Structure 1
Amino acid sequence: MNSKIDRRIKYTQMVLKESLIKLMKEKPITSITIKEVCELADINRSTFYSHYKDLYDLLHQIEDGIIEDMNETLSAYNYTKNEEAIQMTEKLLEYLVKNRESCQTLFSEHGNPTFQKKVMSLAHRHSLKSLMADRKNLPYNAEYLSLYIVNGSIHLVQHWLKNGLKESPKEIAEILISLANKGLSSLQH
């Protein structure tokens, strides 16, 4: 009996999340009502309120799940090895592809800038670990370099998501790691 209830709860939360994301593709959360989300999800408002305080609570749960998944992925790799850095980045990009609809929306102009900052902060922390492991070869302050790399990487990924994922996650991972390691000179052959 308990597993049946758990499945129903998971299903309800899933359709509410999907409905919010679908609506956010068209307009910002400030223009979306709980009524719209519930109608799209085919769920009544009292059911919505049994799971979430408001739309922002729902949005934050979506965002927190993505941040948690990304952190787990980033924590599983050794930053000092270039092959593992590419694999880690590729796994992150594969995650974005797998969760394409949510990620495209959350990284778009209708997405929450706070979420985008959280992603950048997470990437910055992990980037700093990598740079600190290789500190002896750095001519700059590692924190500044990390901020530069992370901001450029986020914008590159946003562009990739927005423009239909034409390149594979592996190709984008190789570009990102190459740029992070050697800058623009790495792209000149």
Structure 2
Amino acid sequence: MNEDRRVRKTKLALKQALLTLLKKKTLGAVTITELVQRADLNRSTFYHHYNNAAELFEEIRSGVLDDLARCYREPYLHVRRLFLDELSASSIQIFEHVYENGGFYTVILDSSTAYDFQLEIQSMIQKITLEELLIDAPPSLNKELYASYHAHAITGMIMDWVRRGFPETPEYMNNQLLAIIRHHPEHPEVSYTASLHRQ
């Protein structure tokens, strides 16, 4: 095993150990001793890579956000124009990403920083949408409002799915997101009268 692979394996063990500990205690309560014991490493190995548990957690957080951005871009990385009617659910990767990082998302949503992290996701998706997906939007469309609407919708789907414990598969969520994006009825049927009778 070369050094790079050894380092990756060590860091992965530390990250998994930290996320496991965070299921039961706050970040500030995690000690380096219990962290390295759970990772089956020694303290000197930990301090070779990180100064404290907060620094390790920040590496996890930033890595997750970077990977989410990559997955969000995946459907249009290799095309000049994105056609929604030709977009396949299998090309959408954000829910696979969330599921694969489910331990982190579950921990972060149970923490005091849940709201801040949610805002980070919204801001990231909004920025990418505004800068990369609305180039030829009609002048009548307020790009900032559209990007905000889009970012809040996707973030809401992600957070709701995480909070409910991932009851649906990533494939199901991909298909539902695609169906939502494509759903633009010109004359939607409404049930206002029916709702009045139920009151």
Give the counterpart letter for 1:73 in structure 2.
C
Judged with a 3 Å threshold, the aligned counterparts in structure 2 of structure 1 residues 47 and 142 are, in CA distance, closer, same or farther, namely: same
CA distance in 2, matches of 1:180, 1:9: 41
More helix by share: 1
Deviation at 1:178, TM superposition (A): 4.3
**Structure 2-normalised TM-score?**
0.74
Which runs of 5 or more structure 2 residues have no equivalent in the other structure? Answer: 191-199
| Residue aligning to 2:148 | 147
Q: Superposed, which structure 2 residues align to 1:81-160 within 5 Å?
A: 81-82=83-84, 83-84=86-87, 86-88=89-91, 90-106=92-108, 108-110=109-111, 112-113=113-114, 114-129=116-131, 132-133=134-135, 135-136=137-138, 140-160=141-161
| Matched pairs, number | 184
Letter in 2 for 1:84: L
Task: Give the deviation of 1:46 after TM superposition.
Answer: 1.9
Separation (CA, whole Å) in 2 of partners of 1:188 and 1:29: 49
Structure of higher CA gyration radius: 2
- Partner-residue secondary structure (3-state), 2:93: helix
Equivalent residue runs for 1:1-189 within 5 Å: 3-78=1-76, 80-82=82-84, 83-84=86-87, 86-88=89-91, 90-106=92-108, 108-110=109-111, 112-113=113-114, 114-129=116-131, 132-133=134-135, 135-136=137-138, 140-180=141-181, 182=183
> How far off is 1:71 after superposition?
2.4
TM-score, normalising length: structure 1: 0.77
Are the aligned partners of 2:122 and 2:155 in contact in 1 as well (CA < 8 Å)?
Answer: yes
**What per-residue deviation string (whole Å, max 9, x for no partner) do you get for residues 90-109 of structure 1?**
31111222222223323x12
Q: C-alpha deviations, 1:125-181, integer Å up to 9, x for none?
A: 233246524622x86522123223322321221121222322232332343344456
Identity %: 24
Could you say if the C-alpha distance between residues 67 and 133 of structure 1 is closer, same or farther in structure 2, counting changes exceeding 3 Å? same
Structure 1 unaligned runs (5+)? Answer: none
Q: CA RMSD in A?
A: 3.2
- Could you tell me how far 1:22 is from its partner in structure 2? 0.9
Are residues 174 and 140 of structure 1, via their aligned partners in 2, closer, same or farther at CA, if it must alter by over 3 Å?
farther
Change (3 A) 1:25 1:139: farther
**2:148 aligns to what SS in structure 1?**
helix
Once the two structures are TM-superposed, the CA of residue 14 in structure 1 deviates from its matched residue by: 0.9
Local SS of the residue matching 1:150: helix
